A = this chain, B = another copy of it.
């Protein structure tokens, strides 16, 4: 039964944190899994909202395009157990406000019909409470995003990103992906990383031996790649590039 998998997934989804199994059962039964490959879209901005998705495997990037379509801004990258379009599902004008695409190659999501979700949430206090808490968290994140974009400059945002993601040695996303995440263009990411490298804030390493876990960087210029650390008042060093680990200094 796929509804068992669905139930297990829903039980651990933060958006429903605190809900009891019986509350989630009806939703789990309506859920349908589907598999996407890297680059495939779950939905495009402007489409009518039909489903809310829970990531089961892989990861999904939610992003908006600039009017000209020349630039994009990544709003979220959701991994397993995270929800995509969780907010849109409760909006009255039911169109997705952003695009969503799979980032890795097997990416599996559970689609839940929005009507059923609304129904369940509105009739189950525990669910409603969980959703409210989730929305509040979400908005706090967005606010943080907002003022980092307005108040801090690129170097700072990049350094913050690197520090935040330096827990385990791992590969850096593509420069384009980083650019979309930080609200800029790939060229600037390259320059900044180069600068950090020259300053000794980061170390770099070929992606060579790396497992090709869904996405890996292609060519590498002159010196290979860098890795970074820094920030307004931050202090930390980085390690190997596509792969890196943090080291305090």
List chain A positions with a Cβ less than 8 A from chain B.
64, 66-67, 71, 73, 75, 87-88, 90-92, 97-98, 121-123, 125, 128-129, 131-133, 135-140, 142-143, 145-147, 149-152, 183, 232
In the complex, chain B residues whose CB is within 8 Å of the CB of A138: 139
Interchain CA distance A137-B143 in the complex, whole Å: 15
Contact (A73, B146) CB under 8 Å given A136-B135, A139-B138: yes
Neighbouring B residues of A132 by C-beta, 8 Å: 90, 121-122, 128, 131-132, 135
CA distance A131 to B98 in the complex (A): 22
User: CB-CB < 8 A to A150: which residues of B?
Assistant: 66, 73, 149, 183
- Bound complex: CA of A143 vs CA of B97, how far in Å? 8
Apart from A64-B147, A87-B136, A135-B136, 13 more pairs, CB < 8 Å = A64-B143, A66-B147, A66-B151, A73-B147, A75-B143, A75-B146, A90-B132, A90-B133, A92-B137, A125-B128, A142-B142, A146-B146, A149-B150
Bound-state CA distance A79–B72 (Å) is: 33
Whether the Cβ atoms of A123 and B122 lie closer than 8 Å is no
Q: Are A129 and B122 touching (Cβ within 8 A)?
A: yes
Pairs across A and B, CB under 8 Å, 18 listed: A64-B143, A67-B232, A73-B150, A73-B151, A87-B140, A90-B132, A97-B140, A97-B143, A98-B143, A122-B125, A122-B129, A122-B132, A123-B125, A128-B129, A135-B135, A135-B139, A142-B146, A149-B149
Contacts of A152 in B (CB 8 A): 67
Candidates B71, B75, B140; contact of A151 at CB < 8 Å: B71
Taken together as a complex, chains A and B put the C-alpha atoms of A128 and B133 apart, in Å, by 11
**In the complex, A136 Cα to B121 Cα: how many Å?**
14
Shortest A142–chain B CB gap in Å is 5
Distance to closest chain B CB from A56 (angstroms): 24
Chain B residues with Cβ below 8 Å from A142 are 139, 142-143, 146
The 10 lowest CB-CB distance pairs between A and B, nearest first, are: A128-B128, A66-B151, A135-B135, A90-B136, A91-B136, A150-B183, A122-B129, A87-B139, A142-B142, A90-B132
* Chain B residues in 8 Å Cβ range of A71: 151
Residues on B with C-beta less than 8 A from A122 are 125, 128-129, 132
